[in-house]
Amino acid sequence: MDFLVPKLSATMESVKVLRWLKHVGDKVAIGEPLVELETDKAAMEVESPVEATLEAVLAAEGAELATGAVLARLGLAGEAELASSTKSSPATIPDAPASPAEFAIAGAGSTWAATPRILASPFAKRLAGMKGIDLAALAATKPLQRIRARDVLAAAEARGAKEGFEPFSTVRRHIAEAVTLSRRTIPSFVIDRWVAATAIDQARAAHGGQIEKMIGVRPTFTDFLLLALIDSFSKHPRILDRWHEEDGRVGRIRAPNIDIGLVVAVADGVMIPVLRRLAGKPVHEIVQARHDAVQRARSARLLDADYAPVSFSLSNIGKSGADRFEAIINPGQSSILAVGRQHDRVIASSGGIIVARGVNLTLTVDHRLIDGLLAAEFVETLAERIEHGTWSST
């Protein structure tokens, strides 16, 4: 069968072949990554829709193809045996339909409605069972023709399109698996506090231009949040502990460094690149590290270091419409801070009423490692650092 360029997004018109993940002659399972393509949004792995052998690569690495173009030729499992048996018995006409449709059964006084046998390859029959395709109905649309796997796949795709079904992308599927595992295995609770962001806004106004001249990147609200988190971790290092279970023993792993995962929105999901060894770094280095991490995520080019264990993540929703939200802890981590959009709030201050601008900090923690008092103390330290801490450009 032909392996075609899929339409991975509504706006996608063409792709570039980055690299083949299998060689000619390799076997590939259903759902196994076969080729990496670059679209208008990101680079992503495209999976094989069938169990097959890669017979021929028809699009070299670096080639640019339109949606629907042929990438490769796949030999479906079971077809080689069928072709071999057909070649060795050329005079045999398989599965010839019976005629007439009804036969008299001698002495029975009734009739027997003969059901013609369905002409289908063994693999097509197995595939139809897996995908819930009615072979008899499919055979009725192809009289006197053998049903092959490609026919079953086409029928399944047509049914899916009719029902509005859209299979998950690799990114979306991984997210679904991760959040399900998190909800099932991590007993968590939430600590919440609103903080004024005046000090951060003033620091950005005072030092943003100088930092941008130094490194060519303008600092964001997230950069100063990261600096406040780093200072707060130095006072509460146990927030960075990770749960560990091995050979029936459970315990904690202490973090040797301050590493923070940064949740970045990408096409059809999120990625979490990691900012490593942040302790003692000046704000301009944090700005550069954050900028580089975002670029890695948005170009779908995470490093091996991004996949190494990290205990804490930051998810800043930015200017979106939510004032507050709770984030789900990524499996393998112990806590995540969700930061809502900046918004005004009426608060009491020095015996009076004022309107201040700030954000909600919502900390979700793994209760197996972190108790309520420690989580509350950490949020208190973080809020104090954000509202009353000092900032500099170096």
Determine what percent of the chain is predicted with pLDDT higher than 70: 87
Q: Specify if 329 maps to a domain.
A: yes
Determine what percent of the chain is predicted with pLDDT higher than 90: 52
Return all residues near 340 (Cβ < 8 A) that are at least 6 apart: 317, 322, 323, 324, 325, 359, 360, 362
Q: Specify if 270 maps to a domain.
A: yes
Task: Tell me: do 57 and 205 sit in the same domain.
Answer: no
The mean pLDDT value of the chain amounts to 84
CA triple 339-342-344, angle to 5 deg: 130
Task: Tell me: do 202 and 73 sit in the same domain.
Answer: no
pLDDT in tens, 349-394: 888 899 999 999 999 999 999 999 999 999 999 999 999 988 876 6
pLDDT in tens, 227-263: 999 999 999 999 999 999 988 899 999 999 999 999 9
Q: Which of 98-102, 144-148, 234-238, 307-311 has the highest mean pLDDT?
A: 234-238
As a whole number, mean pLDDT of residues 312-318 equals 95
Residue 62 has pLDDT above 70, yes or no: yes
Helix axes 198-215, 283-298, angle to 10 degrees: 80
The DSSP code for 147 is B
For residue 203, the tally of other CB atoms under 10 A from its CB is 21
Contact between 179 and 251 (Cβ < 8 Å): no
- CATH number for the domain including 339? 3.30.559.10
Q: Specify if 152 maps to a domain.
A: no
For residue 365, the tally of other CB atoms under 10 A from its CB is 27
Q: Specify if 86 maps to a domain.
A: no
The residues facing 52 across adjacent strands are: 28, 76
- CATH number for the domain including 25? 2.40.50.100
pLDDT in tens, 379-389: 999 999 999 98
Return all residues near 105 (Cβ < 8 A) that are at least 6 apart: 111, 112
Domain containing 67 equals 2-77
pLDDT in tens, 285-310: 999 999 999 999 988 888 888 888 99
pLDDT band at 78 (very low <50, low <70, confident <90, very high): low
Q: Specify if 202 maps to a domain.
A: yes
Q: Specify if 312 maps to a domain.
A: yes
Task: Tell me: do 216 and 347 sit in the same domain.
Answer: yes
pLDDT of residue 394: 67
Q: Specify if 351 maps to a domain.
A: yes
Counted domains in the chain: 2
Task: Tell me: do 72 and 193 sit in the same domain.
Answer: no
Contact between 262 and 274 (Cβ < 8 Å): yes
Residue 212 has pLDDT above 70, yes or no: yes
Cα separation, 192 vs 324, whole angstroms: 9
Task: Tell me: do 204 and 352 sit in the same domain.
Answer: yes
| Closest alpha carbon to 275 in 319, 332, 229, 210 | 229
Return all residues near 173 (Cβ < 8 A) that are at least 6 apart: none
Give the residue from 11, 42, 77 where a domain finishes. Answer: 77
Q: Specify if 114 maps to a domain.
A: no
Q: What is the DSSP secondary-structure string of 244-291?
A: EEETTEEEEE--SS--EEE-EEETTEEE--EE---TT--HHHHHHHHH
Give the residue from 77, 94, 121 where a domain finishes. Answer: 77
Gap between the terminal Cα atoms of the chain: 60
Task: Tell me: do 46 and 194 sit in the same domain.
Answer: no
The residues facing 112 across adjacent strands are: 103
Give the residue from 62, 77, 92 where a domain finishes. Answer: 77
